[in-house]
Amino acid sequence: MTYLIIDRRRCSLACILLATLICAVMIGFPSASSADEALDARVQRFLDDQTRDWRDLNVPYQDGKILHDIVVEHGFTRAVEIGTSTGHSTIWIAWAMSKTGGQLTTVEIDERRYNQARENVAEAGLSDYVEFVLGDAHQIVPRLEGSFDFVFSDADKDWYVNYFDALYPKLTGNACFTAHNVRESRIRSGRWQAQYLAHVRTVSDMETILHPDARAGVAVTCKK
C-alpha cells in the first residue's frame, strides 16, 4: 500500500510538471503571434499614413504590395534592392522578410534619401530586417557576397542589364529578379525597356512576365 501511495505521488508530480510545460509552451505561442500582429499593424498604419507623401522616385503602393506578396508567396529570405530612394519599396520588402525570417540589403547613392529611408524604416519598425548600403550601385552590386533569392532593381534604368548580369550567377535555384518601370506600352519604343526584356528573355532557365496588376510596371523574371 505504501508503494502505491508513493507511485501515485510521483505520477501526480509528473503530471503537474507536464501540465506546467504544456501551459508554458501554449502561452509562448500567443506571445509570438501577438508580436507579429503588432508589427503588422504598425507597418500597415505607417504605410497608410504615408500613402500620399511618397516622392523621390518611390514605387506606387500597389507595386510595393506586389513585391511583398512575391517574397511571402515564395518564402524568400535573402533579398537585394538596387535603389532605396526614401524607403517605400524597402518597407514592403522588409515587411515580407519579417514574415519569412529573411534579410534585405538595399543600396542607395543619394545620402539624403539614404538617411530618410533609414528613418522611415525605423519608424515602421523594420530596421532589424534591413542592411542599408550608401554608395554607387555600379561598384557595390557586383561585389555583393552570397546567394540571393529575390532582387528588386529600381535604380538607373539603362544599367538594368548590368545589374541583372552581375547578380545572375548569385541567384538561387528558385530566385526571382524584379525590375521596376517596365511596361508593355514602352516595349516597342526601342528604349531601355525593350533592351532589358530582350536580354532577360534569352536566359534559358528563367521566365519573364510583366505583372498585370502593376501601376508603374513590374517585370518579374523567375527561375523555372
Name the strand (E) or helix (H) holding 98: helix 88-100
How deeply is 120 buried, as exposed, middle or buried, from its count of CB atoms within 10 A (0-12, 13-18, 19+)? buried
Residue 147 DSSP class: -
Per-residue pLDDT at 8 exceeds 70: no
58 or 144, which is more confident?
144
Q: How confident is the model at residue 54 (pLDDT cuts 50, 70, 90)?
A: low
Q: How confident is the model at residue 185 (pLDDT cuts 50, 70, 90)?
A: low
Q: For the chain, how are helix, strand and coil distributed in percent, rounded to 5?
A: 55, 20, 25
**CATH code reported for the domain at 61-223:** 3.40.50.150
pLDDT of residue 166: 98
pTM: 0.83
Q: Could you report the per-residue pLDDT of 144-176, keeping only the tens digit for each? A: 999 999 999 999 999 999 999 999 999 999 999
Q: How confident is the model at residue 190 (pLDDT cuts 50, 70, 90)?
A: low
Question: In the chain, pLDDT over 90 holds for what percent of residues?
Answer: 73
Domain definitions of the chain by residue range: 61-223
